[in-house]
Structure 1
Amino acid sequence: MASTTKSTATEIDHDERIALDGAIDDLTDGARTWSHLSVAQRVTLLRAVRAAVAASADEWANTASDSKGLPGGHPLRGEEWLSGPYSTLGALDAYIETLTRIADGRNPLQDVRVDRAPGGRTRVHAFPLTGADRLLLAGFTGEVWLEPGITPRQVRAGAGLAQRTPQESGGVGLVLGAGNITSIPVLDVLYELLAHNRVSLLKVNPTQDALVPVFEHALAALIEPGFLRIVRGGPAVGSYLTAHKSIEHVHITGSAATFDAIVWGRDAAGKRRRRENRPLLKKPITAELGGVSPIIVVPGEWSDADVTFHAEHIATMRLQNSGHNCIAGQVVILSHDWAQREQFLTALRHAYAKAPERPTWYPGSASRMEQAASDYPDALALGDRLLVEIGDSDDAEPLLSTEYFAPVLGVVEVDGLGQDFVDAAVQHANEKLQGTLGANVLVDPATERALGSGFERAITALRYGSIAINAWTAFGFITPTLTWGAFPGGTVQDVGSGIGIVHNALLLDGVERSIVRGPFRPFPRSLPWVSGGGRFTILPKPPWFVTSRTGAQVSEGLTRFRATGSVSGLLRTLLQALRA
């Protein structure tokens, strides 16, 4: 049995309990089977999953688009191609490569550059690793930084995690799936299986019920031997499963409030348990819980085209998926002293207003929008979204501490230019904003060169699990060989943006953060004689920009190329990209 029926009652009924217990029994048997598979056999299994995901890509992307209220032909339907099947296919390809190396007796980091990073850290240059990525995503690079004190030798020795000891079972885990991005539940299941040798009971969020048949088809190769079971249900099902004696581990993607309810319980009893440090949950838990993400705009001498491009860049960080993202940029940090401050704000207002309209579809988003409007009655209402520009007399606290998870973007200002601004902005992001999941930094090449080592020191001081320089941290999410999760330090008592990491297709141990670097200017302004020393890219406008005219077609085309490797299809897609 792959899925059970939905339950919204406070307690599940007898038949549902029997079905859930049966699914867990199947997984207990499946865990034993998994521990008897060689790594080479696991590669064969992953290839079968990949073939099914590729065959399911159309249904996956279209079902997700329809469920989010995006009708056929809507310019933002491409989001569901990239954040669904494209992300999953990329992860499968990367895991297959890692496990193939292990099966062949090679190290997962063979031919991968490993060197030193600031502060006694080791750095793995984890992206790009394929010729296709070097071409299509030229200008983008990704690094995984390990915790201070871990040496390059130790990194290589530990790479592979549980696949180094495939016979050691991780038992049965519960994955409480995210409700916003359709690849997250699948990617979490894959990470549990490959990083921890743990089979999974996946409880999908009710917002993704329509995707269950797609998941069942795409993941049939995991379901049939008992490595995965998928169930529907609300809080009652979740409560029953987290307490189940045969579930050995829980992983959740969601909110800190839900995490606390699972660990401590609800209402007064939960608060009392927390004070007394008596958690209701008696088993290990990992979590990815979001936060309030900063966008630091480093002042420099920007052209009009630079201003326009990065205003649209920031609008994308907030408005992709209607702001229903754990990694949506929420607080722009500007220099009060920047000569182009007002020009940039004008461009940002324009970009934020002109982005295509779409539903705010995630449950509770209407109340959060009302909360933001109440917190900031003078905010600019631009169609279905709010832009909050914090003035001298405004209280910034709600904006800095509330993850609105809706189309609400704020702007705050700090004093200074150059290194003074960068240091003040990093301090503001570290000390004032809730959470540590991801931070974005926009800086022109000339200013970055002028800052020199001071800029690298500031990036090192930025305490976030994912950092994007001239890119959006969602690029790190979608890149499987990078890692995803909060900056280390979260506990059940103070979880912040979560505990642990996912993705991590190189299966690295001791991860601290991932850093993405992208091109400041798009093509053709990225050409060497125009870019001012910046990075070259072939993309005139990335397809994930909400302002991309051909984003839907390009995102679908890139997914099909990922699935089939068709060069002729790729050429057509690149022509569409040039029209973005």
Structure 2
Amino acid sequence: MTSTTAPAPASALDDAERAELDAHITVLRKGAATWSGLTLSQRATLLRALRDSVSATIEDWADTAADSKGLPSGHPLRGEEWLSGPYSTLGALDAYADTLTKLAGGRSTLDGLTIGRAPGGRTRVDAFPLTRSDQILLAGFSGEVWLKPGTTPASARRKAGLAQLTPDAPGGVGLVLGAGNITSIPVLDVFYELLAHNRVVLLKVNPTQDALVPVYERALAPLIAPGFLRIVRGGAAVGSYLTGHPDLDHVHITGAAATFDAIVWGPSNGTGAQKAATTRRRRENRPLLKKPITAELGGVSPIIVVPGEWTEADITFHAEHVATMRLQNSGHNCIAGQVVIMSRDWAQADQFRAALRRAYASAPERPIWYPGSPKRMGAAAEDYPDALVLADRLLVEIDENADATALQSTEYFAPVLGVVELDGTGQAFLDAAVTYANDELVGTLGGNIIIDPATEKAMGAGFERAIAEFRYGSIAINTWTALGFIVPTMTWGAFPGNTIDDVGSGIGVVHNALLLDDVERSVVRGPFRPFPRSLPVLNGGGRFSILPKPPWFVSARTGTEVSAGLTRFRARGGGLGLVRTLLAALRA
């Protein structure tokens, strides 16, 4: 997901640099003891203070992030930085504070929530929406957390709370190697270390986010002052020194599998001797890293388009939907949709492909800013010389004679979108598409399905069975898995089963503000049709929504205004501002 460069040797640091890092760790070791002495109520109070400090930075946070990504003032996509930065962070703080308050009162984090069953003996927790404002503003959107087969509702209730069930048990000091693409990721990872594991945190920001460090320091001051958090800059040499530091107890990384492997096993792109040593360590199962590690590493995300009888408006809307999944943040997302899976037997296939070309080409232009992405985009152009070049992006339409291997196995992390076709319609197509995604695409982080209400209803239990077979840690139905990222009570991480020897899309989960144990996946669902076509008389049995177009769509004309307004409302409340925001949403 981020740089694939192997860590530089720690010896690249001088004595003063190592001493400064050691001093931070010393402060954190003391802070860990202080954290273990806080009651649950005191921790909830701290989160509320943190909420105030984050709220005071939201304009600077969003503006700094947008500027650093080359989005000038007035650019129509600056709203992305509001939703994926301070909005996500504030939502997480509210949800974690609610969790701690429940636990402090002797209640389960699942009190008041609906717990049901999912296919395959799974327990399902209805985890979104939980607040009145979310029920109104995001009407038609919902989220469930599916627990591992065999986990009972009673067990789920008993284990919910994780480390906060024993808050005085010390968790030590964790190292978070922050993501470089989305500005809330490092902050949300810090929260999860503190609350799911009782670990105070040394956060090393990715160099792409150096400009955000002063904002982070102000926003997170209530954690920094008592020694619960330290933030450092630096490149590979700093990361190498810290991952090997004996006084750090755990590592969490958001990045690329190649970087993970270099940390755990050693460099695979160094000298001949270094490569040989890495190979030998793998063969003998002797990891270079001597402490536990968790990771979120991205992958190649599918978008399954289930054939049905769609209106022209449906086709236009979901073509823009698919374009958004790829082009948000210029494709620099770990769950950017990369492979559209369609039916060659769909009577409307040609119409949808034409609409997708239009939507993909007409989205606002923006820089390809993430390091290494232009090179990967160039590799895609070499692999697929017949790809359509639309503005500053590639659309690869795979025919029966083309080799889809590169598209299936390379996370381009750039505006490269592929389209493949399979036989069948209805349940047969969906089952074939799920099998294709599971078996042919690299990674298990996020998968998307678009299906009209009538077709879903016709499948009956077969649709839920197909979801159960879809091996992804986050699944989105008629929405994008990014919603599962933003909603704090969803879990975020790869489908379970990866190991340090074969890490795939990562190990463990984050976010998870209900602090659930035995998590398998999260499933988010949205309305197939937007307002006003979501009205019951028009939507064919689908979900009602008040949004004509979600503000995260790259085609939303008022996306920045709505995203900023929603963030300000979450930070400060205010009915008049919310009304203005909703009116802007109606003009999207």
TM-score tier by shorter-chain length is over 0.9
The letter for the 2-side match of 1:557 is G
Output one character per residue of 1:454-485: Cα deviation in whole Å (capped at 9) or x when no partner.
11111110000000000000000000000000
> Which residue of the partner structure matches residue 178 of structure 1?
179
Q: 1:285 aligns with which of 285, 289, 293?
A: 293
Q: Hey, what does 2:567 align to over in structure 1? A: 559
**For the residues of structure 1 that align with 2:188 and 2:10, how far apart are their CA atoms?**
29
Paired residue secondary structure (1:427): helix
Q: Distance in 1 between matches of 2:280 and 2:350?
A: 49
- Structure 1 unaligned segments of length 5 or more: list them: 1-6
CA contact (8 A) 2:9 2:241 kept: no
Number of the residue aligned with 1:3: none
Q: Is the 8 A contact 1:8 1:234 kept in 2?
A: no
Q: Distance in 2 between matches of 1:352 and 1:38?
A: 51
Per-residue deviation, 1:148:
0.4
One-letter amino acid of the structure 2 residue matched with residue 197 of structure 1: N
Q: 1:444 aligned to 439, 447, 452, which one?
A: 452
Counterpart of 1:105 in 2: which secondary structure? coil
How many percent identity over aligned positions?
A: 74
1:432 aligns with 2:433: no
After superposition, residues 100-119 of structure 1 pair within 5 angstroms as 100-119=101-120
Q: Alignment partner for residue 332 of structure 1, among 316, 330, 340?
A: 340
Which residue in the other structure is 2:5 paired with?
Answer: none
* Aligned: 1:512 with 2:513: no
Matched ranges for 1:388-537 at <5 A:
388-537=396-545
Other-structure match for 1:122: 123
**Structure-1 residue corresponding to 2:312:** 304
Report the Cα offset of residue 498 of structure 1. 0.2
Q: SS of the residue aligned with 2:12?
A: coil
User: How do residues 88-487 of structure 1 correspond to structure 2 at under 5 angstroms?
Assistant: 88-267=89-268, 268=275, 269-487=277-495
| TM-score (norm: length of structure 2) | 0.97
Contact 2:10 2:241 in 1 (8 A): no
Measure, in 2, the Cα distance between the counterparts of 1:518 and 1:275: 46
Q: Does 1:577 align with 2:585?
A: yes
Specify the alignment match of 1:544 in structure 2. Answer: 552
Could you list the per-position Cα deviations for residues 355-412 of structure 1 after superposition, in whole angstroms to 9, with x for gaps in the alignment?
0000000000110010000010000000110000001221100000000000000000
With 442-451 and 273-282 compared, the bigger mean Cα shift is at 273-282
SS in 2 for 1:421: helix
Distance in structure 2 (CA, Å) of the matches to 1:79 and 1:221:
26
Provide the secondary structure at the position in 1 that maps to 2:582: helix
Residues of 1 paired with 2:57 and 2:123: CA distance? Answer: 39
User: Cα offset for 1:275?
Assistant: 2.1
Task: Give 1:276 shift.
Answer: 2.0
CA distance in structure 2 between the partners assigned to 1:479 and 1:204 by the alignment: 23
> 3-state DSSP class of the match of 1:413?
strand
**CA distances 1:37-77 after superposition (whole Å, capped 9, x unpaired):** 00000011111110000000000000000000000000000
Q: Distance in 2 between matches of 1:172 and 1:179?
A: 22
RMSD: 0.9
1:24 maps onto 2:32 in alignment: no
- Contact 1:115 1:123 (C-alpha < 8 Å) held by counterparts: yes
Moved over 3 A (4+): 7-10
1:306 counterpart letter in structure 2: D
CA contact (8 A) 1:558 1:570 kept: yes
Distance in 1 (CA, whole Å) between partners of 2:567 and 2:145 is 25
Aligned to 2:57, the other structure's residue is in SS state helix
Does structure 2 retain, via aligned residues, the 8 Å contact 1:122–1:147?
yes
1:8 deviates by: 10
- Number of positions where the alignment pairs a residue of Structure 1 with one of Structure 2: 574
Amino acid at match of 1:259: F
SS of the residue corresponding to residue 550 of structure 2 reads coil
Once the two structures are superposed, residues 411-437 of structure 1 have per-residue CA deviations (whole angstroms, 9 ceiling, x without a partner) of: 001100111101100000000000000
Q: Match of 1:167, as an amino acid?
A: D
Name the CA shift for 1:166/1:150 in 2 (closer, same or farther; >3 Å).
same
CA distance in 2, matches of 1:297, 1:275: 42
Query: Structure 2: which 5+ runs fail to align?
Result: 1-7, 269-274
| Contact in 1 for aligned 2:9/2:240 (Cα 8 Å) | no
**Superposed displacement of residue 9, structure 1:** 8.8
Cα deviation digits, residues 5-27 of structure 1 (max 9, x gap): xx999611111100000000000
1:153-178 CA-partner distances (Å, limit 9, x unpaired): 00001111111100001100000000
